Amino acid sequence: MDNDSFNYPDRPNDLSSYWMPFTANQAYKQAPRLMLEAKDMHYTTVDGRKILDGTAGLWCCNAGHGRGKIAEAIKKQVDRMDFAPSFQLGHPAAFEFANRLADLMPGDLDHVFFTNSGSESADTALKIALGYHYVRGKGSKTRLIGRERGYHGTNFGGTSVGGIVKNRMFYGSLLAGTDHIRHTHDIEHNAFTKGQPEWGAHLADDLERLVQLHDASTIAAVIVEPVAGSTGVLIPPKGYLKRLREICDKHDILLIFDEVITGFGRLGASFATEYFGVEPDIATTAKGLTNAVVPMGAVFCKKKIYDAYMENTKSGIELFHGYTYSGHPLAAVAGLATLDVYKEEGLFERAAELSDYWEDALWSLKGGHHVIDLRNLGLIAGIELEPRPGAPTARAMETFQKCFDDGVLIRVTGDIIALSPPLIVQKNQIDQMFDTIGNALKAVD
């Protein structure tokens, strides 16, 4: 296979115009990694090499690649109707999809607002939280609390409550009125813990510190990832999320779970709220929502939040927020077909069944070259490497390149390798991933 097989062959070697996201553009364009096809567990590069996908694309292709049922649903829909406005109009698929999603989410998180990405979902959730307090007559509750090392997309709201330094440092003060509780990562106490650490539930009490600093009457919401993914797979200590829920209830603060990564089977349950048995007031999703075939996000809200808007608006528009592509017809049918695939193939249950095998494979790397911690839950794994003196992130990036050269796609963030394969992964493919990573670590200084 070569570039002649690409659909747009006029300038196949000209990479100059595309400014790539979260990419070292200069280095990449000197030695590009171009994918041309994808099917099931593998990508195929432009030079015909098969690459085993250890990251579900970007935490998002939970059902694997090239799923015919999803593609067929999109083809039928685009022939029937390509687009319908979502302001004062609607189409059946969006309502059906919202209903099925509400049925899937535990508790009374039964109202769904559609977005186009995880970033938009985060900002939507924050705005809904602020508006909720406003319509209840508690307009002083405007402060938004995130967590150090948190990731909630790259729009201004999500970046402001996010806590990854490089994502924040270039953009000034961002939104006013935000603050952060401390993160839960502590290698001294929790290194090489299988599943949830025993130590650290008390870290949730840092929210009480911010209540004392700002007063609860000014705090609208707290947003956290149940499992922090993009910062390097940080597993919540036992009891931590429950304690956050209790503190939020005590002070009339909304709790928002960012489930963009943990949603749709990643932990072996529908959502993290089901897995941990802790129910937020709002949950954000995207990624696995449509198996990433068409971009889409969704924000789940408790009935009390939706009702507050409806009951306190006498007439007209209740929520002044939305997107041109909210509930897009192609995305909605892709999502419906994705839910069918998850259910028909029992992929959430499959992830739970594979989790022990996944854990054992990961822990084969204990004692490996430069490995200072291993973390796992469901079908997620984090491998933390000792940074190279004077060159942080270099060791992990070289491992990424070596694995890619050897036919396995991994993800690195800082000096942490993060893994999250499609839920259709086979045991021999799990073995291949960790064997390849182990050999790469031996080869990297």
Among the candidates 320, 342, 364, a domain finishes at: 342
Of 313, 342, 371, the residue that ends a domain is 342
| Judgement on whether residues 257 and 338 belong to the same structural domain of the protein | yes
93 band by pLDDT with thresholds 50, 70 and 90: very high
Q: Which residues are registered as beta bridge partners of 391?
A: 388
For the chain, percent of residues with pLDDT exceeding 90: 96
Query: Residue 30 and residue 48: Cα distance in Å, rounded?
Result: 19
Helix (H, G, I), strand (E, B) or coil at 113: strand
Residue 9 pLDDT level (bands cut at 50, 70, 90): low
Judged against a pLDDT cut of 60, whether residue 332 lies above it is answered with yes
Q: Round to whole Å and give the CA distance between 364 and 436.
A: 12
- Which residue, chain included where needed, has tokens 């004077």? 390
Mean pLDDT of the chain: 96
Comparing CA positions, the residue from 127, 105, 129 lying closest to residue 252 is 129
39-62 burial, b at 16+ Cβ within 10 Å, e below that, comes to ebbbbbbbeeeebbbbbbbebbbb
The answer to whether the CB of 152 falls within 8 A of the CB of 117 is no
pLDDT for the residue numbered 242: 98
Residue with tokens 């970033």: 119
Strand partners, 170: none
150, 224 Cβ separation under 8 angstroms: yes
> What is the tens place of the pLDDT at every residue in 390-443?
999 999 999 999 999 999 999 999 999 999 999 999 999 999 999 999 999 999
Sign of CA dihedral 6, 7, 12, 15: negative
Residues 285 and 149 in one domain: yes
Q: What is the pLDDT of residues 157-199, one digit of tens each?
A: 999 999 999 999 999 999 999 999 999 999 999 999 999 999 9
Residue 33 sits in the same domain as residue 106 = no
Check if the beta carbon of residue 256 is closer than 8 Å to that of residue 161. Answer: no
106 lies in a domain?
yes
Torsion of CA 388, 358, 203, 270, to 10 degrees: 130
- In angstroms, what CA-CA distances link 278 with 53, 59, 132, 306, 390? 31, 22, 21, 20, 42
Here the tokens at position 7 are: 């659909």
Q: Which of 164, 199, 196, 198 is CA-nearest to residue 180?
A: 164
pLDDT, residue 6, reads 54
Tell me the one-letter amino acid at 171: Y
Residue 394 has what pLDDT?
Answer: 96
Q: What CATH number is attached to the domain comprising 227?
A: 3.40.640.10
Tokens 């009374």 belong to residue? 108
Q: Are residues 155 and 191 in the same domain?
A: yes
Distance (Å, whole) CA 9 – CA 43: 20
Domain of 47 in residue numbering reads as 3-63+346-443
Angle between helix axes 68-80 and 329-344 (nearest 10 degrees) is 150
pLDDT tens track for 352-373: 999 999 999 999 999 999 999 9
Tell me, what DSSP letter sits at residue 421? -
- Please check whether residues 177 and 238 belong to one and the same domain: yes
**N-term to C-term CA, the chain:** 34
How far lies 91's CA from each of 60, 96, 295, 342, in Å? Answer: 26, 9, 18, 24
Q: Is residue 77 part of a domain?
A: no
The helix (run of H) or strand (run of E) holding residue 402 is helix 394-405
Average pLDDT for 42-61: 98
| 40 plus 156 within the same structural domain | no
Residue 92: band (very low, low, confident or very high) from pLDDT cuts 50, 70, 90: very high
Query: In this predicted structure, what is the pLDDT of residue 3?
Result: 47
Give the helix/strand (H/E) hosting 432: helix 427-443
pLDDT of 7 above 90: no
Q: Tens of pLDDT along 368-378?
A: 999 999 999 99
pLDDT at 236 over 90: yes
For residue 2, what pLDDT band results from cuts at 50, 70 and 90?
A: very low
3-state SS, residue 285: strand
Place of tokens 């009490």: 205
**Average of per-residue pLDDT across 298-307:** 98
d(CA 27, CA 234): 29
Tokens found for residue 330: 């192609």
Which amino acid is located at 428 in the chain? Answer: N
Judge if 225 and 121 occupy the same domain.
Answer: yes
pLDDT, residue 8, reads 58
73: in domain: no
Dig out the tokens for 207 from the structure: 């929210």
Same domain flag for 144 and 187? yes
Cβ partners under 8 Å of residue 69, min gap 6: 337, 340, 341
Same domain, 284 and 369: no
Same domain, 183 and 281: yes
Long-range Cβ pairs for the range 197-203 (8 Å, 24+): 197/235, 197/237, 197/238, 198/237, 198/238, 199/237, 200/236, 200/237, 200/240, 201/237, 201/238, 201/239, 201/240, 201/242, 201/243, 202/243, 203/237, 203/240
Question: Given 296, 315, 342, which residue is the final one in a domain?
Answer: 342
**In the chain, what percentage of residues exceed pLDDT 70?**
97
Largest CA distance in the chain: 67
Q: pTM for this structure?
A: 0.96
Instruction: Tell me: pLDDT of 13 over 90.
Output: no
Cβ contacts of 360-365, under 8 Å, gap ≥ 24? 361/430, 361/431, 361/433, 361/434, 362/419, 362/434, 363/194, 364/434, 364/438, 365/434, 365/437, 365/438, 365/441
Q: Does position 11 have pLDDT exceeding 80, yes or no?
A: no
- 71 is a domain residue: no
**Cα–Cα distance list, 20 to 17, 196, 445 (Å):** 9, 35, 28
Question: 314 is written with which tokens?
Answer: 């006498």
Same-domain pairing of 293 and 271: yes
- Residue 89: partners with Cβ closer than 8 Å, 6 or more residues away: none
CATH classification at residue 374: 3.90.1150.10
